[in-house]
Structure 1
């Protein structure tokens, strides 16, 4: 066990040395600040008897120490007021990103059990639920189909107990088929069904339960799903996270998705910087709804991860069927962007006579459907394949002989950049690793 000790200048050097000796196996230390009980921090190394890293920015010193030493765990021997809760979350984010345990007197953060897939892998992860992660995952799959043969491995709270393969390249996922699956007790709006439907690719659905503070799942069958994907004749794996929970894999490339509608503390505090720090590409969704906040998040991402390629996007609904000339009812999981979604649908020649953002809220959704039933007839129901899309909305429409058209959400850059091009470039690098 090789340990890195975090120390401060609020302890007398003999006390810090005593603690390091009791700890044992300390290969180096990082000075976090404070000067009440020491002279120049550079002289501490002699007094402590270990290599000491000092920088005006202690986080840079920690990054360098982890890079130059094979460290198994970082042990915090510092105290307030030198480090506060915010600083400790930043430290934990750096440690977990480097696959190192971080512990102190009464806490411990350790990385989850990760595997490195045998095939090139891109991980798509989110900073929370309803940030558009699955929409971005589906988009990535559609883009990669242009040059490669991707397979998507998803993880979800409604996923199957054993990895379930959906051949979206050949199987037709009709509303009737999905409703039959729901009646069999399956979560037919699970992410692997959605990706197979909107991207037309092979997907593997996996179950997970529980998510840690940094996003590692408690129980899951993702590793079994990855092994299944490795045995398929596909070129590249897309490992897709679930809510704020990240795929438990060591990927070759990472796409982190956050939303301009998220609370600042979720993005800028806690373990937001950990997920952002992983990103090769960072996608900020709903940038059209909260443009100023999206710009602020972009600046934060650039500070945390200067190497990330940041994209600001909005979502435009992409019906998987013809809507021109039809009177339609629109169902989504968000009220925030529904006005723009209605405009996008009507630009395709449809008339939106009813719209609801309650797809993930079943009691209000039932009320919306009852209201829709009292209105003049509609030709089709447009619905995202999420939440209660199948067992509630699809069932309601089919029982009344109303056509069901599912929706994909297409990310469109609002910053003049090209997310499609960025995804292809990341895939090129990943395939070459």
Structure 2
């Protein structure tokens, strides 16, 4: 357990005298800033909630949703400001999903969440001095579209006169922050790959496709609330702040959140269901971008990613397309398509098929095995590599206006 005043969560499945004794001990040890009644009536009478001081020895906030009660008490007012939420409730009032929703809210409010056998702390966010706007793109999982959104946002800002830099945190990023200049090409990436580097890292994708400078860094591990186990992103953001003008864009990795304070945040919600502490990521966002009917507790824009060649294809080219999952590409009728870019064994067989089909252009996403396998094979076969980009398009709202608005309001 930590230190400092706490907000306690209780329920009506426990007898009030038992709860009172525990609250009294908790108050002596740490201080009780407030109590939220989360429901249940098996062992609590209406009188106990009408006169909580008599039964619980202190005021108890009841008659509201637990989330609303937690928000109210966390706001402080004339009460001691809490540092943690201590969950003294249990099933059936709070099942595991409900408890994790409350934990996510607690973390968002800057409070630790404590329950028997578990303590969650809010992820730290370092302040990196920068004269412009610091923007973050986070997601609920791997390959949710963060890189596409970050790159698109950077392009919009560049068109408006800014000189943004994207800071990309990845599991294959460099040991020391590395700058990639706009327009890095296939040959440069192959040279990196030949030296043993991960040449399809997100920061290289951003530099190649978004046309802006990027800074790459790495992270290892990821907590349930998105905190990296280890990361050099603070150093990378500090480096980028000395290069950028107008905007820094911090790109998360998988479901990990950049450990740097941001003025505005966009969360890209992947196709899987929202559960566990995913809600924490949604709560951090000013806008959520979704691919389906997910209804996060934030303003939401439905989007789709439209794959398209980053440059014109030669006429009469025999095109092989390589993606991590996209089923089609705008304006392209390929001779052969592979969705195995992240599955190397199957990808090797697909490349053999592309060679057998006489493909002379390999149109590939800049991800996974794009450079060390696809581009390397293209070099061997004398084929040309063209990158495939995923452009985010708003379905039910103007995505570009929303992104520019966040920047202006930041």
If the TM-score is normalised by the length of the shorter chain, which range does it land in? over 0.9
Are the aligned partners of 2:165 and 2:244 in contact in 1 as well (CA < 8 Å)?
no
Distance 1:52 1:118 in 2: 42
Counterpart of 1:59?
67
Are the aligned partners of 1:53 and 1:62 in contact in 2 as well (CA < 8 Å)?
no
Q: 1:191 to 1:18 in 2, by over 3 A?
A: same
What is the deviation of 1:323? 0.8
Q: 1:281 aligns with which of 284, 287, 290?
A: 287
What is the deviation of 1:309? 2.8
2:29 is the counterpart of 1:21? no
Counterpart of 2:101?
90
Counterpart of 1:288?
none
Structure 2 unaligned segments of length 5 or more: list them.
none
Post-superposition Cα deviations, 1:6-65, rounded to whole Å, max 9, x if no partner, equal 111222222222111212311111111122222232421454344432233111111221
Alignment of 1:20-419 (within 5 A): 20-24=23-27, 25-40=31-46, 41-68=49-76, 70-119=81-130, 120-147=133-160, 148-168=162-182, 172-260=183-271, 262=272, 264=273, 267=274, 269-285=275-291, 294-295=292-293, 297=294, 300-301=295-296, 305=297, 308-325=298-315, 326-334=317-325, 337-338=326-327, 340-341=328-329, 344-346=330-332, 351-375=333-357, 377-415=358-396, 417-419=397-399
Are the aligned partners of 1:216 and 1:246 in contact in 2 as well (CA < 8 Å)?
yes
Q: 1:221 to 1:55 in 2, by over 3 A?
A: farther
Q: 1:223 to 1:42 in 2, by over 3 A?
A: farther
Counterpart of 1:427?
407
- What stretches of structure 1 move > 4 A for 4+ residues in a row? none
Counterpart of 1:289?
none
What is the deviation of 1:232? 2.6
Cα RMSD after superposing both structures: 1.6
Are the aligned partners of 1:327 and 1:378 in contact in 2 as well (CA < 8 Å)?
yes
Are the aligned partners of 2:52 and 2:59 in contact in 1 as well (CA < 8 Å)?
no
What is the deviation of 1:180? 0.3
SS in 1 for 2:51: helix
Are the aligned partners of 2:135 and 2:248 in contact in 1 as well (CA < 8 Å)?
yes
What is the deviation of 1:410? 0.4
What is the deviation of 1:403? 1.0
Distance 1:362 1:158 in 2: 16
Counterpart of 1:10?
13
SS in 2 for 1:115: coil
Are the aligned partners of 1:162 and 1:221 in contact in 2 as well (CA < 8 Å)?
yes
Q: 1:45 to 1:144 in 2, by over 3 A?
A: farther
Are the aligned partners of 1:13 and 1:44 in contact in 2 as well (CA < 8 Å)?
no
Post-superposition Cα deviations, 1:361-404, rounded to whole Å, max 9, x if no partner, equal 000000100111112x2231111100000000001101222111
What is the deviation of 1:196? 1.0
Are the aligned partners of 1:27 and 1:51 in contact in 2 as well (CA < 8 Å)?
no
What is the deviation of 1:95? 0.8
Are the aligned partners of 1:179 and 1:395 in contact in 2 as well (CA < 8 Å)?
yes
Distance 2:304 2:192 in 1: 32
What is the deviation of 1:200? 1.2
Are the aligned partners of 2:123 and 2:225 in contact in 1 as well (CA < 8 Å)?
no
Distance 2:360 2:350 in 1: 17
Structure 1 unaligned segments of length 5 or more: list them.
286-293
Alignment size in residue pairs = 395
Which deviates further from its counterpart, 231-240 or 99-108? 231-240
Taking structure 1 as the reference length, the TM-score comes to 0.87
Are the aligned partners of 1:117 and 1:251 in contact in 2 as well (CA < 8 Å)?
no
Taking structure 2 as the reference length, the TM-score comes to 0.92
More helix by share: 1
Distance 1:44 1:199 in 2: 59
